[in-house]
Amino acid sequence: MNYFFLIHAFLDSCPHFFVQYTGVIHRIFEDFVGKTCTFQNYRSSISYGVIHDIKLGVKYLLTLTSVSYRKRVFSLNKKVQISESIELGILLALSGGFMDAYSYIGRGEVFANAQTGNMLLLGVHLSEGDIPAAIRYLCPVLAFTFGIALSDIVRNIGKGGHLHWRQISVIAEAVILAIVSFLPQSHNLLANSLTSLACGIQVETFRKIHGNGIATTMCIGNLRSGTQNIYTFFQTKKRDALEKGLLYYGIILCFICGAIIGNQCIKYLHERAILVSSALLLLSFIMMFITRDEA
């Protein structure tokens, strides 16, 4: 008896609940048959007896449970969210550079993203006994940390809703920055803390572009990864290493452009300049309604 026909009959009789998986299993099964049975047709398998059919069945089950095979087949149906696209990465990097320029130039030389700089200045002012100045740099660090935690909270409780949890995070970020735009210079401590809170949300919410770990709010990690990939390209001549390296450096360039735009906007819009960053995030929110097939 030929068990391949039985398997086909089973797949065809699957209830509606399994319909979404049936096509994938069919594809695995047909691919397996094409590779293992090219030396014979289905009917000739009878001559090999039950033992041969069992061997083929074991091979089939091993193929089904193979991690690499499942990844290859399921990738055929995989949808890539716009949240990992280059287009969205550009917008977020522009916003990231803008926020850092805004907080440093327009809000008393405190970094929104570069928490290493804030912690450095925190230590310097503590060593000088200047507690009020130290607090100016401590609060953004704490707010940035809370933003990271808040993003994870949104991810855990935002599943199954009408909006993707990343959309909730990015719209919250845009609203926070809009609030910052109405805070006067006398409230710079609060303004910088809220801006760092938004940056913390962004750095945790958007961590990949095309599957590569990339930050849109800072450049050190991107510089390291980009340089490593460029070096790998010159050593191995692998094109994918070059593409990854250029992607990292491209995001760095967008971050710098965001800082340039931020500096110019601050000259004319002053505290309201951060609304430009908020608008970029709002555009990102709208773009995230788009999904597309993986190329």
Question: Between the CA of residue 20 and those of 17, 73, 79, 225, what are the distances in Å?
Answer: 7, 14, 14, 38
Between CA 284 and CA 92 the distance in angstroms is 8
User: Pick from 255, 182, 189, 184: which is nearest to 220 by CA?
Assistant: 255
> Which of the four pLDDT bands, split at 50, 70 and 90, describes residue 124?
very high
Report the C-alpha gap between 260 and 101 in whole angstroms. Answer: 8
Mean pLDDT of 79-88: 72
Alpha carbon distance 170, 202 (integer Å): 7
**Looking at residues 187-197, what average pLDDT do you find?**
96
Mean pLDDT computed over every residue of the chain: 78
Higher pLDDT, 106 or 23: 106
Neighbours of 269 (CB within 10 A): 15
Which of 40-44, 238-242, 255-259 comes out lowest in average pLDDT? Answer: 40-44
Per-residue burial over 157-194, b = 16 or more CB atoms within 10 Å of its CB, e = otherwise: eeeeeeebbbbbbbbbbbebbbebbebeeeebbebbbb
- C-alpha–C-alpha distance, residues 293 and 126, integer Å: 53
- Alpha carbon distance 214, 84 (integer Å): 10
* Structure confidence at residue 290 (pLDDT): 74
pTM: 0.69
Any long-range contacts for 117-123 (C-beta under 8 Å, 24+ apart)?
Answer: none
Each residue's pLDDT tens digit, 54-73: 444 444 444 444 444 344 43
Determine the Cα–Cα distance for residues 32 and 65; give it in Å rounded to an integer. Answer: 13
The one-letter amino acid at 146: F
* Phi and psi at residue 178, to the nearest 5°: -65, -40
Tell me the C-alpha distance between 293 and 275, whole Å: 33
Per-residue pLDDT, averaged over 91-118, amounts to: 93
Please give the Cα distance from 170 to 278 (Å, whole number). 9
In whole angstroms, give the CA distance from residue 122 to residue 285: 34
Residue 288 falls in which region: left (phi positive, over 0), alpha (psi -120 to 50) or beta? alpha
Instruction: Dig out the tokens for 114 from the structure.
Output: 């570069």
- Give the Cα separation of 89 and 82 in Å (integer): 9
Where is average pLDDT lowest: 50-59, 100-109, 201-210, 229-238? 50-59
